[in-house]
A and B are shown apart, each in its own frame.
Chain A
Amino acid sequence: MKFVDEFRNVGAARALLDRIRATVTKSWTIMEVCGGQTHTILRYGIDELLPPAVTLVHGPGCPVCVTPIEMIDLAIGLAQRPGVILCSFGDMLRVPGSRSDLFDARAAGADVRVVYSPLDAVDLARRETAREVVFFAVGFETTAPTTAMAIAHASDLGLSNFSVIAAHVRVPPAIEAILAAPDNRVQGFLAAGHVCTVMGIGEYRPIVEKFGVPIVVTGFEPIDLLDGIAMCVAQLEAGRAELENQYARSVRPEGNRAAQALMAAIFTPVDRRWRGLEALPKSALAISDRYAAYDAIRKFNLTSARVAEPLECRAGEVLRGLLKPPQCPAFGRNCTPDHPLGAPMVSSEGACAAYFRAGRVAEATEAE
């Protein structure tokens, strides 16, 4: 398969591994930010192929995982109202709120539908004029432009029965929060390639300068990740801290200006608590006042109370790279993908779920 197979080539992987082995002289801890990258690392066993001196820890870049419980409760509550059709991406339906998930709500009679694009939800609103169609929007800067486009499209059409619960989040504030924590152990970052395809790389330069850490914008195929790790290790060994772009085939330095303009028109950055993390300044995208008519939270006057995470769950430490999933006492015991206690066990791209699915739970329990 063209454009994919060359980035999964075994010979190329061996060459990159040799390069990393030849470069590394000290121990380094590198965090990949995006859940898609975590998924690839576990899928191909890349962490097992690296020299022991290079430790990968897994960042908070799974949008499903970091959506706060109270947002999910809001969506479930809204879905249960008569006349409402709640749409979201399939991944989101299985994420537990404080009592149930959207699949449970659907089984109990709510009209909850899976869409593949927010524009499908706009089309649904055009067809179902007597119903309120609400799109539950999650994702980083990668999916935010499509939500923005859906709102702009609904506005152009003058639709009054379409609105959005916007739970979009931004990567840079999360990286800053991890680096600013006194117990941080991350020495270099692989930034999320697709986020940078939209946003460009400029936002990361001040972080590199402020904290003196290398950031390598990296793709999602195994060769991309090995290449990104090799670039990061080379910087660390040379004592450099620079912003580099491994994923140049997709990421232009300035990003996608049209998408950025659309996002700037529709959204405003706001502070928000992430599931498993504390409130992060300007870390979320809320719908701007101009498009308030499309903001389901204001339209339906939704309010939420903060819901406490289970005490046993140490997701916060996992998401900040302080703990590997199998080191959490609940991992694979009280916390599994079928009965998740915390955010990273929820979606297949969460670090805990990725470890569990890859069978690392067996190793953890067998080792005892």
Chain B
Amino acid sequence: MNATGMQCPADLRKDELIVLGHGSGGKLSAELVRKVFLPALSNPILDRLNDGAELNLDAGRIAFTTDSFVVNPLRFPGGDIGSLAVNGTINDLAVIGAQPLGLSAAFILEEGFPIAELRDIVESIRDASRQAAVPIIAADTKVVERGKADGMFITTSGFGIIPSGLELGPERAMPGDAVLVSGPIGDHGIAVMSAREGLRFETTVVSDCAALHGLAATMIATGGKVRCMRDATRGGVATVINELAASSGVEIIIDEPAVPARDAVRAACEILGLDPLYVACEGRLVAIVDPADADRILAAMRRHPLGEGACRIGAVTRKHNPRVLLRTAFGPTRLLDLLPGDQLPRIC
């Protein structure tokens, strides 16, 4: 019912649920697109409802990436699966130096999923896409039977252009290089855990979920030599640094007291028996840069709203059997290895 007491017959009811027919390709599918997706995500390319998006591009190096999102719960302090899907895909492009130009989004919805909740998530996608100025130019929806999906899964792909002359790559780290992180770590993982069934706890921590292409462009614009960047998602900063060490065949030493983490994140990790270095971020990047340019790049990061808390946390020490060492506050170093699986809370 609207404010005048008249009901619009074509409007989807607030209490309506996703049914299998919404994925049939027939009238219900068309209605879902018309009522939920198009109003939020409208742009000239998407609005054509063609089988594929058509774009005119200047020639150059194209970057392309894809990612799936299965977060539980779908909403958490500071974001939801929608903003996560947009920002996560943009970040995969940003850290290889690409200017993101467009995204696709494919939705797998579970029968019975509330349309009102879908609408909220699509609006969150709209907001994230507008804020990042990267449009959704292709989309798809499928519905599976109840019990065959955890509410909703989203797969996003994205593409962009890498400016000519820019060379970034995980194999480019060299002895002497500085390791930077763009802000306090672990906010996203702790925010999601605080909202998770069976573990709910009160915290001031909100997800760091954000699109990093502006920050990455700022770093590159300094003219300083950025060897490589990677956004720290699942597995956290420790996992990303291990991946970079492996790709470059180098040893990296991280200075534990220099790694930034909020007190609330550290406290939650203490209680849960987790190490913040392995807790997920969704709006932080790790960069390996030429040591001569490190201060300049760090200063530029700190002037950017998403890099205010940037820190220099370590250095590439030598060409070596690749490994990452952590120098503790007390002086000795220990191996900072990849985890065999998810971090599991300890028993005591």
- Using a CB–CB cutoff of 8 Å, the interface residues on chain A facing chain B are 1, 4, 8, 10, 13, 36, 42-46, 48-49, 63-64, 89-94, 114-116, 120, 138-140, 142-143, 194, 222, 337-338, 347-349, 357-359, 362
Question: Which residues of B in the span 292-344 have a Cβ within 8 Å of any Cβ on A?
Answer: 323, 325, 328-335, 337, 340-341, 344
Asked if residues A358 and B334 are in contact (CB atoms below 8 Å), the reply is yes
Q: Which residue of A lies closest to B272 (CB)?
A: A116
Q: Check B347 for interface membership: any CB of A closer than 8 A.
A: yes
Q: B52 at the A/B interface (Cβ < 8 Å)?
A: no
Residues of chain B in range 246-278 having any CB-CB distance to chain A below 8 Å? 263, 266-267, 270
A118: shortest Cβ distance to chain B, in Å? Answer: 12
Could you list 19 further interchain pairs (A-B, Cβ under 8 angstroms) beyond the known A63-B348, A194-B348?
A: A1-B270, A4-B266, A10-B330, A43-B334, A44-B329, A44-B330, A45-B333, A46-B330, A48-B332, A89-B345, A90-B344, A91-B347, A93-B344, A139-B348, A140-B348, A337-B340, A359-B333, A359-B337, A362-B323
A45 touches B334 (CB 8 A): yes
Q: Which of B331, B345, B347 contacts A64 (CB 8 A)?
A: B347
Q: Does B3 belong to the interface (CB within 8 Å)?
A: no
| Minimum CB–CB distance for A123 against chain B, Å | 9
Kindly state whether residue B6 has any CB partner on chain A within 8 Å. no
Contacts of A347 in B (CB 8 A): 346-347
Evaluate contact between A44 and B345: CB separation under 8 angstroms.
no
| A-B pairs with beta carbons under 8 A, tally | 81
Chain B residues closer than 8 Å to A115, beta-carbon distance: 198
Known: A1-B263, A1-B267, A4-B270. A359 touches B335 (CB 8 A): yes
Q: Which of the residues B266, B332, B333, B334 comes within 8 Å of A49, measured between beta carbons? A: B332
Q: Inside 8 A of A64's CB, which chain B residues have their CB?
A: 347
- Give the distance to chain B from A39, nearest Cβ to Cβ, in Å: 8
Interface centre among B325, B344, B348 (most CB of A within 10 A): B348
**Complex A-B: 19 CB contacts under 8 Å:** A1-B270, A4-B266, A36-B346, A44-B330, A64-B347, A91-B344, A91-B345, A91-B346, A91-B347, A92-B347, A93-B344, A94-B344, A114-B344, A140-B348, A143-B348, A359-B325, A359-B334, A359-B335, A362-B323
Q: Which residues 215-258 of B sit at the A interface, judged by CB distance below 8 A?
A: none
Contacts of B270 in A (CB 8 A): 1, 4
Chain B residue contacts of A36, Cβ below 8 A: 346, 348
Q: Are A1 and B348 in contact (CB under 8 A)?
A: no
Q: With contacts A43-B328, A44-B332, A89-B345 known, is A359 near B323, CB below 8 A?
A: yes
Q: Give the distance in Å from the alpha carbon of A114 to the alpha carbon of B193 in the complex.
A: 14
Say which residue of A49, A116, A338 sits within 8 Å of B345 (CB atoms): A116
- Cβ A49 vs Cβ B348 within 8 A: no
CA distance A337 to B267 in the complex (A): 27
B158-207 CB contacts (< 8 Å) to partner A: 198-199
**Across the interface, do A49 and B331 meet the contact criterion of CB distance under 8 Å?**
yes
Is B199's CB under 8 angstroms from A116's CB? yes
Residue on A with the closest CB to B198? A120
A37 to chain B: closest CB distance in Å? 11
Q: Which residue of A lies closest to B341 (CB)?
A: A94
Contact partners of A4 in chain B: CB under 8 A: 266, 270
- Pair B345/A362 contact, Cβ less than 8 Å: no
**Known contacts A142-B348, A338-B340; is-contact A1 B266 (Cβ 8 Å):** yes
Complex Cα gap A1–B341 (Å) = 28
State which residues 49-66 of B face A: CB under 8 Å: none
Residue of A nearest to B336 (CB): A359
Interface pair A45/B198, CB less than 8 Å apart? no
In contact, B335 and A362 (Cβ under 8 angstroms):
yes
CB of A285, distance to nearest CB on chain B (Å): 15
A-side contacts of B347, CB under 8 Å: 63-64, 89, 91-92, 138-139, 143, 347
Q: How far is the CB of B189 from chain A (nearest CB, A)?
A: 15
Question: Contacts A116-B198, A362-B323 known; A42 to B334 CB distance under 8 Å?
Answer: yes
Cβ-defined contact, A49 with B330, below 8 A: yes
B346–A13 CB distance below 8 A: no
Minimal beta-carbon separation of A51 from chain B (angstroms): 14
Chain B nearest Cβ from A7, distance in angstroms: 11
Nearest-neighbor residue (CB-CB) of A195 within chain B: B348
A90 to B348, CA, bound (A): 12
Q: Which residues of A contact B331 (CB under 8 A)?
A: 45, 49
Contacts of A143 in B (CB 8 A): 347-348
Taking CB as reference atom, which chain B residue is nearest A39?
A: B346
CB of B250 to closest CB in A, whole Å: 15
Please tell me if the beta carbons of A8 and B346 are within 8 angstroms of each other in the complex.
no
B340: chain A residues at CB < 8 Å are 94, 337-338
In the complex, what's the smallest C-beta–C-beta distance from A33 to chain B, in angstroms? 12
Assembly CA distance A143 to B347 (angstroms): 8
Q: Give the 9 A-B residue pairs with the shortest CB-CB distance, closest first.
A: A45-B332, A359-B335, A90-B344, A358-B334, A48-B332, A142-B348, A89-B347, A91-B347, A44-B330
- Complex Cα gap A42–B328 (Å): 11
Chain B residue numbers with a CB within 8 Å of A140 are: 348
CB-CB under 8 A from A93, the residues of chain B are 344
Partner of B328, one of A45, A116, A120: A45
Neighbouring B residues of A120 by C-beta, 8 Å: 198
CA distance A8 to B331 in the complex (A): 12
A94 to B344, CA, bound (A): 10
Inside 8 A of B345's CB, which chain A residues have their CB? 89-91, 116
| Cβ–Cβ < 8 Å partners of B346 in chain A | 36, 91, 347-349
Chain B residues closer than 8 Å to A222, beta-carbon distance: 330
Q: Roughly how many angstroms separate A140 CA and B346 CA in the complex, as a whole number?
A: 13
